[in-house]
Amino acid sequence: MQAKTGDSVIVETKEKKINGILMPVPEGEKDSVILKLESGYNIGIDKKDVKEIKLVKSYSEKKQKTAEVKQNKKLPIISILHTGGTIASKVDYKTGGVIAKFSPNEIIGMFPELTKIANIKSRKIASMQSEMMRFVHYNLMAKEIEREIKSGTDGIIITHGTDTMHYSSAALRFILEDLSVPVVLVGSQRSSDRGSSDAGLNLISACYFIANSDFADVAICMHENLSDESCLILPALKTRKMHTSRRDAFRPINTTAIARVNFNERNISFMKKDYDKKDKNKKLKLKLFNEKIKVGLIKTHTNMFAEEFLAYKNFDGLVIEGTGLGHLPNEETDEYTKENKKIFDSLKEMIKNGLITVMSSQAIYGRIQMNVYTPMRELQEIGVLGHLSDMTPETAFIKLAWLLSNYKKEEVKQLITKNLKGEISERIEDKTFLS
C-alpha cells in the first residue's frame, strides 16, 4: 500500500532510516520528501536519496469527544475565554500547517486536571492568530470579561496567541478598572499535539494560581524555564516576548515576576507583595479604546529619511523606538547628514499640528533619559515626550492609544509619563536585567 500524507512511515535512504509522519510537499520542492519528526520539526529528504518508504500506520483523524464537566460546589468557578493561538492548535496533515481547531470544551478534554482545580466554564470569543488583532478585539475581550464577572465567576483565563499577548495584557490592564477577580492570559509556544508542548502546564498553572491565591489583577502565565517544573505569573504592563520559540520566551522587564507556580508541588510563591487582591465588592468599570484612533510605532535606525516619519502625519499619536537613552537621527553634523535636519523639521511640524509623540528605547531594559545630550534636549523642546519612562515600546504604544481614547490631548501629554497602573517603575533594580 502506498503511503499518503499524514501516514506514519519509515524512510530508508542510502545512509539511514528515518521515522516520521509524511507531510505534503510545498510547491517548488517536488523533488523532496517532507517528514515531521517526533520532535515536531520537519525535514526534507532528496527523493534521489530515498531507497524505500515503508508504511507503519495509516493516518486517520481522531474525533475529539466533548468533555462532560461535572460541577463541584466546593471548588471556585473559572471562566476560560478562548481567542485562538498555538495553545489550541494542532497539525493539519492535509496542508502540513498548524491550525486552531479545538473548541473550548475540547480544551477541557485535553487537560482534565483543570476540572480537579475548579469548576470550568469555557467558550470561544474569537479564533485568530494574535497578530491579526486590532483595538476592537481588546474591547471585545474586556466586555466578555465583564460578562463573566457579572455571572459570578471567581477568575478568568484568556487563551491567546503568544506573538502579541503582551499587547493584549497591557490593553486589558488599562481598560479594566476596579477589577474584583484575576484575569490571566495564557499562551503556548508549541502546539498541543507536540511532545514538547508547554500548553498544558501553562494553562493548568494559571488555573491553579487563580483558584489558590488572593491575586486580582491582569497577568500573563508562561513557563519559567526550559523544564516542566514551574510557570511565572508576569506583570501585564512590564512583560515582553523575548524569544521566537523557547518555552520561557516571556520575561519581566525592569521588574520581577509577580509569583512562581509549581503545580507538581502544589506551591505558589509570591515575589511581589504589592498586588491587587480579590474583592467582590468592587464594581468593574471599562475604559475602552476608540477603535478609530491611529497610533504608529517606528523603529529608529541609521540612514533614515524624513518620509519615514511623515507617513504618520495624519495619525493621532506616534511612539518612537529610539536607540539607547532615547536617540534618533535629528541633527545635521556634516555635509552627509542634511537628511537628519529634515527629520527634525518634519517631527517639529507634525507635533505642532497635533501629533502626540512619545520616545521609548529599543534597548528594552533601562530608562529613557532625554537630558543627557543636546539632540535629545532639542527633541523635548519641540514636544517629544517620554523623559524618564522605562515603558517597553509595546506598552508605550498601548498606553498612548488608550489615553488618546479616553482623555483630551493636553491631558494625554501630562499622563503619558505618569505611572498610572504599574507601567513605569519608580526604581529599577540591577537584578531585574535579563531576569
Name the least confident of 21-25, 59-63, 146-150, 416-420: 59-63
Range of the domain at 140: 77-286
Q: pLDDT value at position 373?
A: 93
* Angle of helix 165-175 versus helix 135-150 axis, rounded to 10: 60
Who has greater pLDDT, 158 or 31? 158
Q: Same domain for 94 and 194?
A: yes
Of 286, 321, 353, the residue at which a domain comes to its end is 286
Residue 1, domain member (yes or no): no
Active-site residue among 13, 143, 163, 337? 163
- What three-state secondary structure class fits 324? coil
- Tell me the backbone φ, ψ of residue 32, rounded to 5 degrees: -120, 155
Residue 238, domain member (yes or no): yes
Q: Same domain for 115 and 41?
A: no
Tens of pLDDT, residues 356-389? 999 999 999 999 999 999 999 999 999 999 999 9
Active-site residue among 90, 121, 124, 241? 241
Q: pLDDT value at position 58?
A: 87
- How confident is the model over 390-413, as a mean pLDDT? 98
Q: Same domain for 239 and 307?
A: no
Residue 111, domain member (yes or no): yes
Q: Same domain for 277 and 302?
A: no
Cell numbers at residue 97, please? 500547517
Residue 72, domain member (yes or no): no
Burial letters 36-58, b for 16+ CB under 10 A, else e: beeeeeeeebeeeeeeebeeeee
Q: Same domain for 157 and 48?
A: no
Q: How far apart (Å, rounded) are the C-alpha atoms in residues 161 and 141?
A: 14
Active-site residue among 115, 162, 239, 300? 162
- What three-state secondary structure class fits 121? strand
- How confident is the model over 45-56, as a mean pLDDT? 89
Q: pLDDT value at position 98?
A: 54
β-pair partners for 35? 22, 43
Q: Same domain for 219 and 319?
A: no
Residue 326, domain member (yes or no): yes
Question: Among 112, 118, 113, 108, which residue's Cα sits nearest to residue 76?
Answer: 118
277 is annotated as an active-site residue: no
Cell numbers at residue 182, please? 484575576
Q: Same domain for 205 and 317?
A: no
CATH number of the domain residue 89 falls in: 3.40.50.1170
Residue with cell 517603575: 425
Q: pLDDT value at position 430?
A: 82
pLDDT tier, 302 (very low <50, low <70, confident <90, very high otherwise): very high
Residue 159, domain member (yes or no): yes
Per-chain mean pLDDT for the chain: 91
Q: pLDDT value at position 67?
A: 47
Q: Same domain for 116 and 206?
A: yes
279 is annotated as an active-site residue: no
Q: Classify the C-alpha dihedral 261-264-267-269 as positive or negative.
A: negative
Cell numbers at residue 159, please? 487563551
pLDDT tier, 411 (very low <50, low <70, confident <90, very high otherwise): very high
Of 286, 303, 328, the residue at which a domain comes to its end is 286
Active-site residue among 7, 36, 83, 86? 86
86 is annotated as an active-site residue: yes
pLDDT tier, 284 (very low <50, low <70, confident <90, very high otherwise): very high
399 is annotated as an active-site residue: no
Q: pLDDT value at position 338?
A: 97
Q: Same domain for 366 and 259?
A: no
Who has greater pLDDT, 102 or 272? 272
Name the least confident of 83-92, 124-133, 312-321, 416-425: 83-92
